Structure 1
Amino acid sequence: MNIGEKSLHWLVDKWLAPGPAMPAHVTRFSRTRSTRKRYVQVETSRSAGTLTIVFFRHDDGSWCVFPPETDRPAMGIGHRAR
């Protein structure tokens, strides 16, 4: 995957299309409680009201509008010492 294609700046431009008349603002940034993954909340004003989108940082360095999958416990076959 091309990281530049999934940069936060690129996604804000894609989803919110900010401009001088309707700039986008970061209104919150932190980490999720459960997985400690980074997120950024960005909003802009539109004629129909405020539009807010939350972007999530993934392990590969990209940003997406959906949260990364959580690590789940898994069982595997292993060798036990006898």
Structure 2
Amino acid sequence: MSPTEMTLHEAVEKWLALTLAMHAHVVRVRRAGMHGRCVCVEASRSDGLLSIFFFRHDDGWWNVYPPAQARPAMSAWKTA
């Protein structure tokens, strides 16, 4: 893994601010489809259950927002 990637574990720690008393676990994994890889992580907190979806981007980072979809593009070249 390159140093510019964020692991799923790092992303979960960043967004859920886990402590030793808290437990988080993966409850859903989607490996294909419109948004590529998507994981739902649940953590039990003192005020209830918290669920967050994490999306894997092409650059190796896990984020809470889905990656941008590839869109059709056109280009033109001027020839001599």
TM-score normalised by structure 1 residue count: 0.78
Aligned structure 1 segments of 4 or more residues deviating by more than 4 angstroms = none
- Structure 2 residue aligned with 1:48: 47
**2:55/2:66 contact within 8 Å kept:** yes
Aligned residues: 77
Write the deviation string for residues 36-62 of structure 1: whole angstroms up to 9, x where unpaired: x10111011122221111111111111
Q: Which runs of 5+ in 1 are unaligned?
A: none
Task: Describe the superposition over 1:2-60 as per-residue Cα deviations: whole angstroms up to 9, x where unpaired.
Answer: 22xx211111111112234220010001135325x101110111222211111111111
**Quick check: which one's helix share is greater?**
1
Structure-1 residue corresponding to 2:4: 2
C-alpha root-mean-square deviation of aligned residues, in Å? 2.1
- Is 1:24 aligned to residue 24 of structure 2? yes
Which AA in structure 2 matches 1:40? Answer: V
Native 8 Å contact 2:4 2:60 kept in 1: no
The one-letter amino acid paired with 1:77 is A
The code of the aligned residue for 2:9 comes to H
What percentage of residue pairs aligned between the two structures are identical?
A: 51
Change (3 A) 1:44 1:2: same
TM-score, structure 2 as length reference:
0.80
